[in-house]
Every structure is written in structure tokens, then in C-alpha cells.
Chains A and B, each alone.
Chain A
Amino acid sequence: MTGTILITIACLVALGLLFAVVLYFVAQKFKVEEDPRIATVESILPGANCGGCGQAGCHAFAENVVKAPSMEGFFCPVGGNPVMAKVAEALGRAVEESAPKVAVVRCNGTLASRPRTNVYDGYASCKVMASLYSGDTGCKFGCLGKGDCEAACKFDAIHVDPEKGVAVVDENKCTACGACVKACPKSIIELRPKGFKNRRVTVLCVNKDKGALTRKACTAGCIGCGKCAKTCPFGAITVENNVAYIDFTKCKLCRKCVEVCPTHAINEVNFPPKPVIAKPNEENV
């Protein structure tokens, strides 16, 4: 009995050794020489393989950034500036800091403000729906609420709010990888800088229809009246194709546009609540 066990153990050990040796030589023979810096860079990267940087994944990013002469054109939106600084350090290069961004869904056509005109009964995908027709509301431009962005997000940061019927971004989780931007067939989602103390002012509408049509379809839509553009002291707002757009490089977060917008299509986030006292000097500006 003991003999059998011993023989078995001996055989297995011998086989193990044999295979180890074979594997070692095979590994030596077929070894792929790779720049060791690629591994270093890859270890710094988050490893989410989201493709938000435009590369095929974290390994591809590392490979290409090591090959490239400078850091230009390479940015990991997930890791952001800290990771890029580390990568640059590892490669002995300099890197410019870029502002952290967040995905913004530019549609506020909630179930309450944008009545449904028909019932979509196909496969729950915005892409299928968009290729079929203009959508289940009077608005041809707004969020379809079927969650292609949700499916594309690897960070669980965007969800279709069942009560609102539009996609909502969780800005704490959003890494601005841009997957949702690509997934949205209506091109509603935009990457915008997170802003000072995460404060942002955005036009939450992309409806290019004339004002009357927009108003009929949605009470929260931009009717292109241009009041905001006239009010903006910094020339940050342009109205084109019946829809206003705030240039985030020019916006100074004064929020005057928010007040004048008749349909409340301009949205402010993360501002402290306003003091209740009236501001007499407002009209003089």
C-alpha cells in the first residue's frame, strides 16, 4: 500500500519536473522582447480597458504612448491627471494638465414635460428606435430613454431614470471615457469640464426645431429665443439652428442665463442655494 503511494508520488514529481524544464525552455525560445516601459505604464493605468482614450485598451495605450515621441494626443480619461502625471514621470516626459470632464446628458425632456405621442414596442435599444422613426414624443432630438448609454457605460455611471424617462449621469462615478457619447444615436451626451467646484451651467436641450414646434413637443425645450445670449456678459452663448449652446471655455458661471430662460432649459448644478435677498444691482449689469 505505502509502496503504491510512494511510487505514485515519485512519478508525479518526476513528471512535474520534466514539464517544468520543457516549459522553461519553450518560454525561453519563444520569448517576446517587449519594451519594459510598456509593462510599467500599463501597471500605472487603471486597467479598465474601456477604450475611452481612443486606443484598443490599456495595453494598446501603453504600447503606443511608449512608442510616441511625446505625450500629445494621449490622455486616460479614467485615471485623469494624476495617472497621466505618473505615466509622464515613468517615461521621463512632461505633460500638460487637462481639465477633468464629465458626461452631460443634454436633454431634460422628462415624462412630465415631454408627453408621449405613441408607444414604442420594439427591441429596447435607442439605436433600433432611432433608425426606425423620430421617437415616441413630439421631439425628434431628445433622449429616447432606452439606455444604449447605460449598456455602454463600464462604470455604472449613467442610468435611465424610470421616473424621468431620460438618462442621468452619476458624476461621482463618471470617468468621462466617452463610451456613452459614442453610443447615443441622438448625439445628446457631451463631455464638459467638471468646472470649478463641480459647478456647471448647461443648456439641457438639443432640439433644432423652430420654437413653436419645440414648445408643442416639450415644455423644457430650448425654443431658441436668444434671451440667454443677449444676457450673457461674456459672449459664451450662441444660438444656432434654434438651439442655444454655452461655450464652457468662456462661461464664468454667473448664472444670469439660467434666470432669463423662459423654459428653464438652462440648468445649473452644484451651486449653493441662492440667498433669498433681492439683488438690486442685477439690472444694471
Chain B
Amino acid sequence: MNKLLVSPSPHTHGKESTQSIMRDVLIALAPAMLVSILSSGWSALMLILVGAAACVLTEFLIQKYLLKRPVTVSDLSAVVTGCLLALNLPPNSPWWLIVIGSVVAIGVAKMTFGGLGQNIFNPALVGRVFLLVSFPVLMTTWDDSGSMFGLVDAFSGATPLGAVKEGLKNGMTLSELTADNLTFSQQFFFNMGGSAGEFSAVALILGFIYLLCRRVIKATIPVTILCTVFVVSGIFWLADPERFTNPVFNLFTGGLLLGAIFMATDYVTSPMTTKGQIIFGIGIGLITVFVRYFGSYPEGVSFAILIMNCTVPLLNKYCKPRRFGEVKK
């Protein structure tokens, strides 16, 4: 027998590791990635691969040569960031766009704060918003002529949300605008205009169910966000259906599902306790609706999540879990 190992208890460990969690997130993203590849062709695949590779490389270079710390790219967190970023860009974006986004996401939003677990803002979103502000034209127009399997007709133009905003600005009413807009089932299953990851609500929801089954995330944040968006936009819609888009349209267009399921639930940048998560979700929902209705950008999910990210330390400080012995007898 060899020398005995001695350590404090516990002497056993659960199966989960950072890597296994990140792998689960990637699996959950797979349907959405698949849909985006099917509909936009090789350019979407290229985007995902370049995004993941650029993020991993950036993290590797920074850890190895700048910080001279152990390299932890094998935990797959950079791959997740890269894929999320890819799903947040128009599917036919040039490769250099996502490289810039990746460098900003990992280099600025993640590593400057100390790497995994230390960042305040969701890296993929910081990358996206950086690109959105720096390259607004590239980021908001879509050209789908590269469709690989001819599943859909070539589609080019603005996203539904962008079209609505533009139209409203030009004095059109919603009923005029939505006449040729998408039907609900189209939105639900195959909503063409949008970032690579905004195509199919059903693919995103599949991923959501997978994450829930694997207990990677809890439903609290996504459900609160979606409910808030639905209720608040519902109130506005009831008040003036000609000016405000309807709640179902709001739920299934744009990056709301992608944001609510994959970005807002990022462990690092979301609150720890259920109470905090509810406040966080409500905040994101409110800001999203307000940006969509009153802001100058057509889409507000990214901004909403980033803004609420700032509140996380505070929410963690003041929303404590229920302690044992603190309940009604």
C-alpha cells in the first residue's frame, strides 16, 4: 500500500465541474447554432468557429504571456463566450468583426477583471455592444442570400424590430407595418431577420429545457424576464395598439429569448439568491421594453442585461438566502 492520503472532509465530490457546466451550455446552444447554420449557410458556421477560436486564443495569450498564470482555457468558458457572441451577430458578418468582438469580450470584459468568475459584465454582451456601437451598419442589416439549403427565400433588410422602429419613425402605423410581417408560427419556429441566434425560438427553448433538466440553471431569471416583458408590453399595447407592438411579438422577436435564457443566466454576472434573481429579471424586462418602445435602438436586451449586471454585487449583498431557523414556527 502506498502512503495514505489525508485531507479534511468531505472525501468525495459531485460529478460537476466548471468544464462540465460549460459543456452543458454548449450542448444547449447546439439547436440554435444548428438552425442558424441551416438557414444562413457556411457563413454562420464560420462565424461560430472563428468566434470560439478567437476567444480561446485571446484568453490563452493573455493568461500565458501577459498575466503569466496557469492557462485555464480547457474550462470551455471562452468557447461559450465565442459561441454566444457569434449568435449575437448577423450571420453573414465578416470574420474580422467577430475577431474584434472576441478580443474585446475576453480581453476587456473578462481578463481585465481577473478572468473567469471575476468579471462584472457578461463578456459576450460587452463584445456585442462594442460592435453595435462601433459598426452600427454592419450590425443591424441582414442579408440572407447565402442560405445553404434553400430552406428559406433570400431575405435581406432590417430585423422585424428594426423595421417596426424605422416605420414608426416615418409616421406609419403598426397595422400598416405588420400587414406583411411575420405570422406567429413563423416567429416561433423560424423567424428570419435577426442575429444568428435569434432565428428560432423553438431551438432556444429546447436549449432552455436541456439546461433546466441538467440543473445547470434555474428557471427564475428567464421566466421573470419573459413575464415582465409580456406584462409591461401588454399594458402599453392595450393602451395604444397602433403605437406599441403586441406582447407576443415582443416575446419572440429580437434577442429576448437568447438573452433571457443564455446571457442573463450567466452565473458570474447574475445574482446568487432567488430574491435577487427576481429583482434582476424584472429590471431586465423593464429596461428591454422601454428601450424597444422609447429608445433610439430597436433592441434593448443587451443594454438591459448589461445595466442590470451592475446591480448584481448590490443584490448579492442585500438579498440573503433564508437562513435555517429563521422561519415561522
CA distance A172 to B6 in the complex (A): 36
Check if B4 is an interface residue, CB within 8 A of chain A.
yes
The interface centre, meaning the residue of B3, B4, B5, B7 with most chain A CB atoms within 10 A of its CB, is B7
Check if A170 is an interface residue, CB within 8 A of chain B.
no
Identity of the chain A residue whose Cβ is nearest the Cβ of B2 in the assembled complex: A119
CA distance A120 to B6 in the complex (A): 5
Shortest distance between the CB of B5 and any CB in chain A (Å): 5
Check if B8 is an interface residue, CB within 8 A of chain A.
yes
Check if A247 is an interface residue, CB within 8 A of chain B.
no
Taking a contact as CB atoms under 8 Å apart, the answer to whether B7 and A118 are in contact is no
1/0 per residue, CB under 8 A from A, across B1-31: the answer is 0011111100000000000000000000000
Taking a contact as CB atoms under 8 Å apart, the answer to whether B8 and A118 are in contact is no
A-side contacts of B8, CB under 8 Å: 122-123, 128, 132
Instruction: Count CB-based A-B contacts (< 8 Å).
Output: 26
Taking a contact as CB atoms under 8 Å apart, the answer to whether B3 and A122 are in contact is no
Identity of the chain A residue whose Cβ is nearest the Cβ of B6 in the assembled complex: A118
Counting contact residues on chain A (CB < 8 A from B), the size range is 10 to 19
Taking a contact as CB atoms under 8 Å apart, the answer to whether B6 and A132 are in contact is yes
The interface centre, meaning the residue of B3, B4, B5, B6 with most chain A CB atoms within 10 A of its CB, is B6
CA distance A12 to B117 in the complex (A): 40
CA distance A123 to B5 in the complex (A): 13
B-side contacts of A268, CB under 8 Å: none
B-side contacts of A117, CB under 8 Å: 3
B-side contacts of A128, CB under 8 Å: 8
Taking a contact as CB atoms under 8 Å apart, the answer to whether A133 and B3 are in contact is no
Shortest distance between the CB of B282 and any CB in chain A (Å): 37
1/0 per residue, CB under 8 A from B, across A79-118: the answer is 0000000000000000000000000000000000000111
Check if A136 is an interface residue, CB within 8 A of chain B.
yes
B-side contacts of A132, CB under 8 Å: 6-8
CA distance A121 to B4 in the complex (A): 10
Taking a contact as CB atoms under 8 Å apart, the answer to whether B7 and A116 are in contact is no
CA distance A133 to B5 in the complex (A): 12
CA distance A117 to B7 in the complex (A): 14
A-side contacts of B6, CB under 8 Å: 118-122, 132-133, 136
Q: For chain A residues 248-277, which have a beta carbon within 8 Å of chain B?
A: none
Taking a contact as CB atoms under 8 Å apart, the answer to whether B3 and A121 are in contact is no
Shortest distance between the CB of A123 and any CB in chain B (Å): 8
Q: For chain A residues 109-149, which have a beta carbon within 8 Å of chain B?
A: 116-123, 128, 132-133, 136
CA distance A258 to B283 in the complex (A): 73
1/0 per residue, CB under 8 A from B, across A230-260: the answer is 0000000000000000000000000000000
Identity of the chain B residue whose Cβ is nearest the Cβ of A133 in the assembled complex: B6
A-side contacts of B4, CB under 8 Å: 118-119
1/0 per residue, CB under 8 A from B, across A135-169: the answer is 01000000000000000000000000000000000
Shortest distance between the CB of B1 and any CB in chain A (Å): 11
Q: For chain B residues 120-147, which have a beta carbon within 8 Å of chain A?
A: none
B-side contacts of A119, CB under 8 Å: 3-6
CA distance A117 to B3 in the complex (A): 6
CA distance A119 to B1 in the complex (A): 13
CA distance A60 to B207 in the complex (A): 57
A-side contacts of B7, CB under 8 Å: 120-122, 132
Identity of the chain B residue whose Cβ is nearest the Cβ of A116 in the assembled complex: B3
CA distance A254 to B3 in the complex (A): 43
1/0 per residue, CB under 8 A from A, across B167-195: the answer is 00000000000000000000000000000
Identity of the chain B residue whose Cβ is nearest the Cβ of A134 in the assembled complex: B6
1/0 per residue, CB under 8 A from B, across A160-195: the answer is 000000000000000000000000000000000000
B-side contacts of A136, CB under 8 Å: 6
CA distance A116 to B3 in the complex (A): 8
CA distance A184 to B271 in the complex (A): 37
Identity of the chain B residue whose Cβ is nearest the Cβ of A135 in the assembled complex: B6
A-side contacts of B3, CB under 8 Å: 116-119
Shortest distance between the CB of A125 and any CB in chain B (Å): 10
CA distance A122 to B3 in the complex (A): 15
B-side contacts of A123, CB under 8 Å: 8
Shortest distance between the CB of B70 and any CB in chain A (Å): 15
Shortest distance between the CB of B92 and any CB in chain A (Å): 40
Shortest distance between the CB of B171 and any CB in chain A (Å): 31
Interface residues of A (CB under 8 A from B): 116-123, 128, 132-133, 136
Closest 9 CB pairs of A and B: A122-B7, A121-B7, A118-B4, A121-B5, A122-B8, A118-B6, A119-B3, A119-B5, A132-B8
Q: Can you give 13 A-B contacts (C-beta < 8 A)? A: A116-B3, A117-B3, A118-B3, A118-B6, A119-B3, A119-B6, A120-B5, A121-B6, A122-B8, A123-B8, A128-B8, A132-B7, A136-B6
Q: A120-B6, A121-B7, A136-B6 are in contact. List 16 more A-B contacts (CB 8 A).
A: A116-B3, A117-B3, A118-B3, A118-B4, A118-B5, A118-B6, A119-B3, A119-B5, A120-B5, A121-B5, A121-B6, A122-B6, A122-B7, A123-B8, A132-B6, A132-B7
